[in-house]
Amino acid sequence: MKEKILIIDDEKDTLASLSFLLTSEGYDVITACDGQEGMDIFMNENPDLVLVDIRMPKKDGLTVLKELEKSGVDAIVLTGYSDEGMAIASLRRGAYDYHREPLEDIDVLIASVKGALYKRNLELKNKELLRQLEEMVIRDPLTGLYNYRYLHIRLTDEITRSSRFDHGFCVLMIDIDYFKSVNDNYGHLYGDYVLKKLGKIISENIRSCDTIYRYGGEEFLILMPETLKNGAISVISRLMKVIRDYIFDYEGQQLKLTVSIGGANYPDHATDRKELIRHADDALYKAKKSGRNRFCFD
């Protein structure tokens, strides 16, 4: 995809010549003849770089630079005025570079454009890498679900939010029945397949506002905001049926499984994060003790 450059200048000849020059360099060029029009176009077109004149009607170049500051998009300033103070002011406002018109060396401007776009691409790549690293920190590597660490962050946030707005919420602990026998009889690769597939099944059968976490081993936890016991039970009943009916098929080996579920409700069972999880875990233990393939609220 071509990189997009916005040129803002009230001189039509300058717009035409710069547009021709940058288009011939392979860029997608859009133009505006004053600062206000330029910012309107900027908001709609999301260019990768802005070339802007300083003295323009309606909105001058320094004002444009100020409005661009938070966008993460660089600007190169062009001006026909030989004013060092203006150059300094432009650079202080965040301009990537400053060129006087008429341009004596086109190659210098082209190098400046390439440098600004290289910087932006590098920043975007770094931002994406940072996002990926942050995802790795909060995701379970096997299932791709949120992990134990992120669960405690979200649970703390949900307690704070629910306390402020006087809402209840539920946590559900889910455990695969007889999962050890799956690993023993079919191997750990089959067991890993079951964990990944079950995580996907649960994700697809809970509400969009609910979040699922791999708690550890064969245990999962669902956080259900603004939900009381009766609301959670309808989700649990549907989820357990879907899991019971699903055939886990891995390399020709087929198996049906069941899960046991324990639930706890904030603030009825606990108002503390650890106590709430303990109550859900106790309820899960009761469900398994009662014969498995069932749910229980502590």
Q: Please give the positions annotated as active site.
A: 218
Separation of CA 78 from chain center: 36
Residue type, 70: K
Residue type, 4: K
Report the phi/psi class of residue 231: left, alpha or beta, with left for phi > 0 and alpha for psi in -120 to 50: alpha
Helices and strands (H and E) in the chain: how many: 10, 12
Block residue for tokens 């023993």: 184
Strands (E), the chain: 4-8, 28-32, 49-53, 74-79, 97-100, 169-176, 211-216, 219-224, 247-250, 253-256, 259-266, 295-297
Separation of CA 189 from chain center: 30
Axis-axis angle for helices 148-165, 273-289 (nearest 10)? 110
DSSP states of 133-159 as a string? HHHHHHB-TTT-SB-HHHHHHHHHHHH
